[in-house]
Structure 1
Amino acid sequence: MKAVQFAEHGDADVIEYDEYPTPEPDDDEVLVDVKAGALNHLDVWTRRGLPGLDLEMPHVPGSDAAGVVAAVGADVSRFAPGDHVAVWSGIATGDDEFTRKGDPTLSRSFKVIGEHLPGVHSEYATLPAENLVPVPDDVPWETAAAAPLVFGTAWRMLVSRGDVTAGESVLVLGASGGVGHAAVQIADHAGAEVYATASSEEKLDYARDCGAAHVCNYEEERFATWIREETDGRGVDVVVDHVGEETWEDSLKCLAPGGRLLTCGATTGPNAETNVNRVFWSQLEIIGSTMATPGEAETVLELVWDGTFEPRIRETLPMSETGRAHELLENREGFGKVVVIPDSEL
């Protein structure tokens, strides 16, 4: 089979689409005939190299994909050949107090397929049955591939961890990205008044279409000043910040007393400065969130499958052009997700 892969860390030109051994499922695994994959910023960071990340090379990237079950291992009863499935990429590889309580995301053994483990941007992939989600036959492959990681992550962050409720105000930074555009839709669905930032008028129009009532072009004005003006100096109840260093200080400034800052990533770097006085005096909460449990993922994906939520696709490319797909993310071109299709499917 052919697979996207890289043999060393570096720029997008290290990516190749070449022959790779076709996997066979173990007893608890499923072989998936991949029909579509989708990219996340995690793919870019993994390709560049992360501190402490020691990969077996060549590495196949990709955390999101959807396809048809081609074969199942001897111990698999949940799926059968011909079933449509999507990949849920979070997995705990050990047994500890957190996995026993049903929250593998807190386990020290928690890993992400495509980051710590071989990914799914290939013609075929083997995965534990527990890392697959059923997909109705009428759901397009691009939708099924693009939804899991970003909607699962955003759902856990806003609903399970952030407890966003109707009537609250929520600011979503970077609303044009995968997690950002999912967060806008989820906050709006929860009944919140949604504020959103993006870097162009086109992206802001898309954010409005996803449910944002108020939008700000952060290239033209400082979003913290804008929020204070929009809310008559009060601030918002919740800020969703997956940007990190560049926005952290202003994110805290945007919060009303008793507000909550939700974070699931740090695209611009992890070493943000925090005004501790502001945190204790305004009684703010800083809440971290990583991925989702399998149950949370299935809950939100049911709302994708029925059309309540919609992953926006900015571009669809053949897997042989995955290098270009990475560049689209790095250069912040477009709104929503980038999808890659195995060349054999085109």
Structure 2
Amino acid sequence: MKAAYLTGHGGNEVVAVGERPPPPRRGGEVLVRLRAATVNRVDLYMRDSGAGITHTLPMTMGLDGAGVVEELDADERALHVGQRVVVHPGISCGRCEFCLRGDDVLCTSMRLLGEHRDGTFAEFVSVPARNVFPLPAGWDDVQAAALGVNHLTAWRMLFTQARLRAHETVLVFGIGGGVSLAALQLVKTAGAKVIVTSRDAGKLERAVQMGADGAVHGATQDIARAVLEMTDGRGVDVVIENVGAAVWSAALKSLVRGGRLVTCGATTGDQPGADLGRMFIRQLKVFGSTLGTLAEFRDLLAFCERSPMRPVIDSVDALDDVTQALDRLGSGRQFGKVAVAIA
């Protein structure tokens, strides 16, 4: 099968596109013929170093994906050959204490596609049947593929960790990135207000056109001061951020007393000043979050079935041009998901 895979670590010179052995389908697994995938920050990380992530090279890249069921067990009842499906990228053990209580995203032996095992930048992937879900009706393959990481991550951050309520206001950092845009869309569909930040005026303008209730230019404005002005000195109920050290202080200062901050990344550094005095005096709550459970993915897909929301797609490149897609994400110029068309 054709696949994009890593031969080493460095730059695009270690990304090859060519023939790889098709994945063996084990009992209980579903073989999916992939049609689309999207590029995520971890793809750049795995290309650059993959430090701290147990993996073996060569390894097929890609976390999320959508396609068609090619092969499955004869006794599989929830899926059928030819069905259009979307893949959850986290392969959990199903037996540890976290899996047994339904929090499989915390599995002690979690293996992620494109990180610990071959991923979705390929014509085929084989995963446990529990990781394969029917694609929402009316959605195309690229839109559906985009749900498996960014929208699922934002869904857990907002509704599981922050427990967002319709009357609240959310501050979303770094609008234009996949998780941030997903958060903007989900907050608005939940009936809450959202303020966004970016260092790019064009991205802020587009976010306002999408429904953002306020926008802060991070390069020219004091973020916390601007947020307090927009909320009549109160602050926001929830902060969604994946930037890390560069915005941590502003994020904490933007919260109302008792507010909640949820973080899923640290692209500018993971060792910010904790500001413990502010945290305990104002009784702020900080949550870490990554991806989402199988049940949360099911709930997200059910929501998508009845919602007009669609992920924002920045660009689509052919599998042969995957390095172009990687460069687009790495540049930071994208607004929405950078996708890869496989078939």
Structure 2 CA distance for partners of 1:103 and 1:60, relative to 1, 3 Å: same
Residue in 2 that maps onto 1:332: 332
Q: Specify the alignment match of 1:226 in structure 2.
A: 226
Q: What amino acid does structure 2 have at the position aligned with 1:328?
A: R
Instruction: Say whether residues 1:64 and 2:64 are aligned partners.
Output: yes
CA contact (8 A) 2:94 2:104 kept: no
| CA contact 1:25–1:73 (8 Å) conserved in 2 | no
Match of 1:163 in 2: 163
Structure 1 residue aligned with 2:89? 89
For 1:312, the equivalent position in structure 2 comes to 312
Partner of 2:263: 263
Equivalent position SS for 1:70: strand
TM-score, reference length from structure 1: 0.95
Query: Alpha-carbon deviation of 1:206?
Result: 2.5
User: Residue 99 of structure 1 aligns to which amino acid in structure 2?
Assistant: C
Residue type of the alignment partner of 2:92: A
In structure 2, what is the equivalent of residue 55 of structure 1? 55
Q: What is the DSSP-based 3-state SS (H/G/I as helix, E as strand, rest coil) of the residue aligned with 2:66?
A: strand
* RMSD of aligned Cα (Å): 1.6
- The aligned amino acid for 2:23 is P
Per the TM alignment, residue 140 of structure 1 is displaced from its structure 2 partner at its CA by: 0.8
Measure, in 2, the Cα distance between the counterparts of 1:98 and 1:184.
Answer: 29
Mapped to 1, the partners of 2:163 and 2:265 lie a distance apart of: 18
Which residue of structure 2 aligns with residue 35 of structure 1? 35
Aligned to 2:195: 195
**1:117-176: CA deviations, max 9, x gaps?**
211110111111111110145321111111221111111110011111011111000121
Q: TM-score, normalised by structure 2?
A: 0.95
The C-alpha deviation readout for 1:223-274, integer Å capped at 9, x for no partner, is 2222122223321111111111211121111111111111112222222221
1:30-179 to 2 correspondence within 5 Å?
Answer: 30-74=30-74, 76-93=76-93, 95-136=95-136, 138-179=138-179
| Identical columns (%) | 37
Aligned residue for 1:250? 250
Cα distance in 2 for residues equivalent to 1:209 and 1:129: 39
Q: C-alpha offsets along residues 3-40 of structure 1, whole Å, 9 cap, x if unaligned?
A: 01011111233211111001231111111111111111
In 1, the alpha carbon distance for the partners of 2:137 and 2:196 equals 34
CA deviations on 1:62-101 (whole Å, 9 max, x unpaired) are: 1111001111134533221100001111221362211111
Provide structure 2 residue ranges, at least 5 long, that are not aligned to the other structure: none
Q: CA deviation at 1:199?
A: 2.8
How many Å separate the matches in 1 of 2:219 and 2:335?
16
Cα distance in 2, alignment partners of residues 93 and 100 from structure 1:
10
Q: Give 3-state SS (helix, strand or coil) of 1:53's partner.
A: coil
Distance (whole Å) between structure 2 residues aligned to residue 235 and residue 169 of structure 1: 8
